[in-house]
Structure 1
Amino acid sequence: MAQLNYRVLEQSGYDGFILKNAPEKVMQFGEGNFLRAFADNFFDIANEKAGFNGKVALIQPIAQGLTDLINKQEGLYTLYLRGSDKGVKVDEKRVISAVSRCINPYGDWDKVLELARSADLEIVVSNTTEAGIVHDTESAFDQEPPVSFPAKLTRVLYERYTAGQKGVVVLSCELIDNNGRELQKCVNQYIDDWKLDSGFRTWVNEENLFCSTLVDRIVPGRIRDPKEAEALAAANGYEDPLTDVGEFFGIWVIEGPQELEERLPFRKAGVPVIVVPDVTPYKKRKVRILNGAHTGFVPGAYLAGYDIVRDCMHDETILGYMNRMLYDEVIPTLPLEKKDLEDFARAVQDRFNNPFVNHELMSISLNSTSKWRARNMPSFLDYVQGKGTLPPCLTTSFAAYVAFYSSESQALTEQGLICRRPKGNEYTVNDDRSVLEFYWQHRNDSPEELIHAVMTNEDMWGTDLTKVNGFEAAAAGILKTIRTEGALKAFENCLA
């Protein structure tokens, strides 16, 4: 079977939107699964529905990558977005034609600089992993290319500046706080390191817009079942080793001035990209609702006998507990509009019920101590401060976390803390070594003793949680219930 390119796609009879030729308006550092299922999908829809008429030129961020394969397919690839929308199964296929080519800067740095000088270029997108936005002293102006991504970007911007071109919008997608501002800071450090002229510094900071962004879409990245992949290829009429898979839900929150919405092609296209003055509330929304829901119910649900997130959404008790926690205890502590928060929470339920993803509870349970501290404790403390009472579901989530880390402890090994759940099987708790050693040392404590020891461990929580009025006694009582009557009973008690 022939491999995907424009000729093969035409012969296959594909009747979806395709844009073969357009100016390269986007330079994208990163050619991996995430950006191709996320940003490039949005640019592709903008070409179809907003008349963007722009191509994305990909820059391979590391020495080994997908350049040859992408160019062999003339930038084309098949994207499947799968999941659940308002309880309805969704499985959408789209051939993405927004990508023009991929450049390997480790062999064709001149092509990157040529693109930098282009009058068509408007946007730079990056996703170079959390470690990508760093300032290092190994990067030099005359390297081909410079070592770090911010150094590469500095060199690209300098080339653009000396060519007399206008500034660009930089959309940083790396998973760090204030990613755009941190990237801009690194660029300014290289201007200092390389002793570039003051006019360039002024141009960088006044003519270019560095935007911090929040990205949210789960991207498994490939069809994992060989038989399904073979069947899809037969149905499509072509082979596509660049096939990408993402969840149906997706949102891109971009921090910037309101006029940026007019410069970017997304609002008119109707894609889930929004421009806001401050991305922080949206990050808080994601952490406390999406991530907080996971950490809030997963330890208890695992002890109750479940293994997969989707199955938990079909248990009325666990689903009711999760929703009570989100709608009654978490959402009231957040700064955004109530409807926005509730819509996001409803989407979370759909995402957890994704029929295409078997998300294992044990994988989510990794490092639950730091996760509860970052995702659930702020909601818990804000609720207590605002209401003057304990939030029942979040209190239960803390007790369930403790129960998960102490369920019939069997051994402490190099792999982790071996525990046993009520259905009989052993499981391995993974966390910082100090946390595992703490729980092992307290394996014979009574519920009251264990809860007191956990709550007073300030290395874990940064504070003494016994100072929260009534929390210690309530959590100890719930831990007793979990150990004697089961986690589902503790969840049920929150719904009474």
Structure 2
Amino acid sequence: MRQPLSQASIVQFGTSRFLLGHVAAFASSAIAEEGSREAVLVVQTSARPEGKAKANALAHQDSYPLHIKGLRNGVPVEEHLSVSSVAGCLVAQDDWEALERHFIQTARWVISNTGDSGYDVAGDTSLSAVPASFPGKLTKLLYARFKAQRPGLTLLPCELIGSNGQVLKEIVSSLARKDYQDAHFSTWLDVECCWVNTLVDRIVSAPLEPVGAVAEPYALWAVQQAPCLIMPFEHPAIEVVSSLQPYELRKLHILNLAHTYLVDQWLTLDLTDSITYVREAMQEPKLRNALSEVMETEVLPVLALELPNMDLNVYWQSTLERFDNPFLDHRLKDIAQYHNDKLSRRIQPVVVMAKNYAIPTPKLSDALKRKNISNINDKTTLL
């Protein structure tokens, strides 16, 4: 059953399959299992035709399908769920007045996942009738709420940017100072609104048409505690933590590092023509053994000293299950994009940490020496 719009206290910017398979799905579960009343209004932020088509489906369907496919404790999982937390969907370009009215009267939380360039303002102004950028739209809506003398909101961005809540706050605050020159509004943004850093982790691998998603069983939404924080609902995948840094480092240097080291070995062993997906790489003993050995002899011993209170072995085993997912077509060629940069961000810091603990890292060091290696005649490999 569709939730009433009057209960859509969560305004979600973005119709991406990730959000459909992550936050909106958690909200639906909370409504069904825990009696939560907090539904979602989805906002399509761009005017792209495919985005508008998805927004139209979200606006008119009572629910959408979410297929969970993968491994859980070594057992194949295939679940077909129905997500019914979405009470409506508005296209910012076409429905601005309705969006502003809802933002003023009903919103309590703001969720966003606007892509890698989602925080790019690029000369935008919130004084436009409909600002082009997400920060521009958000600033304009927050100013309307401020002028209506409404309480501040809690903002829970999900973009994969370090300290995303604080980064978004600084961008919006800068726009507010430039566009409105209202010290009271700036104080309201700083004091009345709650800007929260979060970290998301789930592979939502494919869309379903006209709207829906396919996701892996694993899911995490780590939310950094703040004195002002009140979450809209509870869910087993949500962890409210004192600091996100250990979670960010664990993800970067286990999940992300493992992907990059797998690509390094895939290139080095010249398996690019015979192996396409991560799941296929994990079935190749040369690749699986190389990955397991470097993690167990170099990466995990270092991280165990650097992050002594984190469940690193459990996380590594769950990562292996995710890599083994027989339903996931995760292309190694895609992971290989910006490979040199990923070697620097994901592997090099572990080598530096290891020196502090006198732990040898010959395999990781060899991978760093292979920067600029390329066995694929494709410009996306090592941009």
Instruction: Give TM-score, length-normalised by structure 2.
Output: 0.88
1:72-105 per-position Cα deviation (integer Å, ceiling 9, x unaligned): 214x210112111121111111111000111112
- Secondary structure of 1:100's partner? strand
1:166-202 per-position Cα deviation (integer Å, ceiling 9, x unaligned): 2111011122222211111111112211234222211
* AA aligned opposite 2:330: H
The equivalent of 2:381 in structure 1 is 430
Change (3 A) 1:200 1:349: same
- Secondary structure of 1:314's partner? coil
- Secondary structure of 2:152's partner? coil
* AA aligned opposite 1:178: S
The equivalent of 1:488 in structure 2 is none
Runs of 4+ in 1 over 6 A off after TM superposition: none
Shift of residue 277, structure 1, vs aligned partner = 3.0
The equivalent of 2:364 in structure 1 is 394
Report whether the alignment pairs 1:253 with 2:222: yes
Distance in 2 (CA, whole Å) between partners of 1:405 and 1:123 is 46
Distance in 2 (CA, whole Å) between partners of 1:125 and 1:168 is 11
Q: How does 1:280-295 map to 2 (within 5 A)?
A: 280-295=245-260
- Secondary structure of 2:9's partner? strand
* AA aligned opposite 2:72: D
Q: Is the 8 A contact 1:135 1:189 kept in 2?
A: no
* AA aligned opposite 2:264: P
Distance in 1 (CA, whole Å) between partners of 2:257 and 2:155 is 30
Distance in 2 (CA, whole Å) between partners of 1:252 and 1:83 is 19
1:117 is aligned, of 87, 104, 126, to 104
The equivalent of 1:77 in structure 2 is 64
1:67 is aligned, of 33, 36, 55, to 55
* AA aligned opposite 1:391: T
Report whether the alignment pairs 1:378 with 2:346: no
The equivalent of 1:357 in structure 2 is 328
The equivalent of 2:15 in structure 1 is 31
- Secondary structure of 2:80's partner? strand
* AA aligned opposite 1:331: L
Report whether the alignment pairs 1:93 with 2:80: yes
2:231 is aligned, of 264, 271, 274, to 264
Q: How does 1:213-228 map to 2 (within 5 A)?
A: 213-222=198-207
* AA aligned opposite 2:381: N
The equivalent of 2:238 in structure 1 is 273
Change (3 A) 1:364 1:49: same
When the two structures are aligned, how many residues end up with a matched partner?
A: 373
Q: Is the 8 A contact 2:5 2:88 kept in 1?
A: no
Distance in 1 (CA, whole Å) between partners of 2:227 and 2:241 is 7
Report whether the alignment pairs 1:139 with 2:125: yes
Distance in 2 (CA, whole Å) between partners of 1:273 and 1:359 is 25
Q: Is the 8 A contact 1:122 1:168 kept in 2?
A: yes
Distance in 1 (CA, whole Å) between partners of 2:232 and 2:176 is 31
- Secondary structure of 1:54's partner? coil
1:188 is aligned, of 173, 178, 202, to 173
User: Identity across aligned pairs (percent)?
Assistant: 29
- Computing the radius of gyration from Cα coordinates, the structure with the larger value is 1
Q: Is the 8 A contact 2:69 2:77 kept in 1?
A: yes
Report whether the alignment pairs 1:322 with 2:306: no
1:298 is aligned, of 248, 263, 272, to 263
The equivalent of 1:148 in structure 2 is 133
1:130-186 per-position Cα deviation (integer Å, ceiling 9, x unaligned): 212133433242x22122211211121122222222211101112222221111111
The equivalent of 2:34 in structure 1 is 50
Distance in 2 (CA, whole Å) between partners of 1:84 and 1:304 is 29
Q: Is the 8 A contact 2:252 2:346 kept in 1?
A: yes
Change (3 A) 1:258 1:250: farther
Distance in 2 (CA, whole Å) between partners of 1:32 and 1:282 is 23
Q: Is the 8 A contact 2:104 2:148 kept in 1?
A: yes
The equivalent of 1:440 in structure 2 is none
Distance in 1 (CA, whole Å) between partners of 2:166 and 2:350 is 27
Shift of residue 252, structure 1, vs aligned partner = 1.2
- Secondary structure of 2:207's partner? coil
Change (3 A) 1:364 1:128: closer
Q: Is the 8 A contact 2:24 2:40 kept in 1?
A: yes
The equivalent of 1:445 in structure 2 is none
Q: Is the 8 A contact 1:30 1:128 kept in 2?
A: yes
Distance in 2 (CA, whole Å) between partners of 1:311 and 1:32 is 27
* AA aligned opposite 2:360: L
Distance in 2 (CA, whole Å) between partners of 1:338 and 1:161 is 42
Instruction: Give TM-score, length-normalised by structure 1.
Output: 0.69
Change (3 A) 1:367 1:108: closer
Q: Give the RMSD, CA atoms, in angstroms.
A: 2.5
1:5-49 per-position Cα deviation (integer Å, ceiling 9, x unaligned): x5xxxxxxxxxxx75676111011111211111110111112123
Q: Structure 1 unaligned runs (5+)?
A: 1-5, 7-17, 224-239, 417-428, 433-496
- Secondary structure of 2:35's partner? coil
Shift of residue 384, structure 1, vs aligned partner = 2.4
Change (3 A) 1:197 1:92: same
Change (3 A) 1:315 1:339: farther
- Secondary structure of 2:205's partner? coil
* AA aligned opposite 1:198: A
**Comparing 213-222 with 297-306, which one deviates more in the overlay?**
297-306
Distance in 2 (CA, whole Å) between partners of 1:168 and 1:337 is 35
